[in-house]
Amino acid sequence: MQATATVLVYSDDANTREQVRLATGRRPAPDVPVVEFVECATQAAVLTELDRGGIDVCVFDGEAVPMGGMGLCRQIKDEVFDCPPVLLLIARPQDAWLATWSRAEAAVTLPVEPVEFASALAGLLRRKRLQSA
């Protein structure tokens, strides 16, 4: 198992980014790597980090402004070669269809519920590890 996994967290709200960090802890599950975070507050910063490479999973805030995480997810799925999986934070369970439209691999509701979030993130990290093997 790799030593660390890099998770990019996109939200214009520092509180939302903190919720993600706290819900994840050092690692979201015992069978996945320790997580290191790259935090971004703008679309441009996300695109720069993805161009740099080394991102294992993205967590996007669907409610971010001015560029929401759903639109950004759809954009990177079209533009980024070997795009990492995306966990989308959505406002309401009824917004799950929008997460599907954006081509996100998983979605959880805000505010972040730690057990649900950690489970979803761990699932994406496991999947990424299997694809890389």
Q: Are 99 and 62 in contact (CB under 8 A)?
A: yes
Which CATH number do you get for residue 74?
3.40.50.2300
The pLDDT tens digits for 34-70 are 999 999 999 999 999 999 999 999 999 999 999 999 9
Range of the domain at 117: 4-132
Question: Tokens standing for 64?
Answer: 């971010």
Q: What is the pLDDT of residue 121?
A: 98
Question: Tokens standing for 68?
Answer: 């929401």
Instruction: Tell me the three-class secondary structure of 2-58, residue by residue.
Output: CCEEEEEEECCCHHHHHHHHHHHCCCCCCCCCEEEEEEECCHHHHHHHHHHCCCCEE
Q: Are 78 and 86 in contact (CB under 8 A)?
A: no
Count: domains in the chain: 1
What pTM, to 2 d.p., does this model score? Answer: 0.96
Three-state DSSP state, 81: coil
